Amino acid sequence: MPPDTHSIPVLNTFRSAALAGEFLVTAEVAPPKGGDPTQMIKMAATLKGRVHAVNITDGSRAVLRMSSLVASAILLQNGIEPVCQMACRDRNRIGLQADLMGAHALGIRNILALTGDPVKAGDHPEAKAVFDLEAVRLLQLIRKMNQGVDCNDKSLTDGTLDLFAGAAVDPQSKSWSGLQSRFERKIEAGAQFFQSQLITDFERLEKFMDAIAAGYKKPILAGIFLLKSAKNAQFINKAVPGVNIPQHIIDRLAKAKDPLEEGMQIAAEQVQIARQLCQGVHMMAVKREDLIAPILDLAGVEKIS
Lowest mean pLDDT among 10-19, 76-85, 188-197, 293-302: 10-19
Residue 1 forms part of a structural domain: no
Q: What are the pLDDT digits (tens) for 210-239?
A: 999 998 999 999 999 999 999 999 999 887
**Does residue 4 fall inside a structural domain?**
no
Per-residue pLDDT for 298 more than 50? yes
Residue partners of 128: CB distance under 8 A and separation at least 6: 119
Residue ranges making up the domain that contains 244: 13-299
Tell me whether residue 189 is in a domain.
Answer: yes
* pLDDT of 4 higher than 80: no
- Residue 204 is assigned to a structural domain of this protein: yes
pLDDT reported for residue 1: 44
Number of domains in the chain: 1
pLDDT score of 242: 74
Q: What is the mean pLDDT of the chain?
A: 94
**Cα separation, 133 vs 167, whole angstroms:** 14
Cα–Cα distance measured from residue 27 to residue 296, given in angstroms and rounded to the nearest whole number: 11
Please compute the mean of the pLDDT values over residues 114-135 and round it to a whole number.
94
Q: pLDDT (tens digit, 9 = 90+) per residue, 87-106?
A: 999 999 999 999 999 999 99
pTM over 0.85: yes
Evaluate if residue 247 carries a pLDDT over 60: yes
pLDDT tens, residue by residue, 41-63: 999 999 999 999 999 999 998 99
Q: Does residue 268 form part of some domain?
A: yes
| Domain harbouring 57, CATH code | 3.20.20.220
Please check the confidence at residue 23 and state whether its pLDDT lies above 90.
Answer: yes
Task: Judge contact between 24 and 280, C-beta under 8 A.
Answer: yes
Q: Is residue 305 part of a domain?
A: no
Nearest to 109 by CA among 145, 79, 77, 84: 84
- How confident is the model over 3-22, as a mean pLDDT? 80
Measured over the CA atoms of residue 287, residue 293, residue 299 and residue 301, the dihedral's sign is: positive
pLDDT of 240 > 90? The answer is: no
User: Considering the chain, what percentage of its residues have pLDDT values greater than 70?
Assistant: 97
3-class secondary structure for the chain? CCCCHHHCCCCCHHHHHHHCCCCEEEEEECCCCCCCCHHHHHHHHCCCCCCCEEEECCCHHHCCCCCHHHHHHHHHHCCCCEEEEEEHHHCCHHHHHHHHHHHHHCCCCEEEEECCCCHHHCCCCCCCCCCCCCHHHHHHHHHHHHCCECCCCCECCCCCCCCEEEEEECCCCCCHHHHHHHHHHHHHHCCCEEEEEECCCHHHHHHHHHHHHCCCCCCEEEEEECCCCHHHHHHHHHHCCCCCCCHHHHHHHHHCCCHHHHHHHHHHHHHHHHHHHCCEEEEECCCCHHHHHHHHHHHCCCCCC
Does residue 162 lie in a domain region?
Answer: yes
The pLDDT of residue 110 is 98
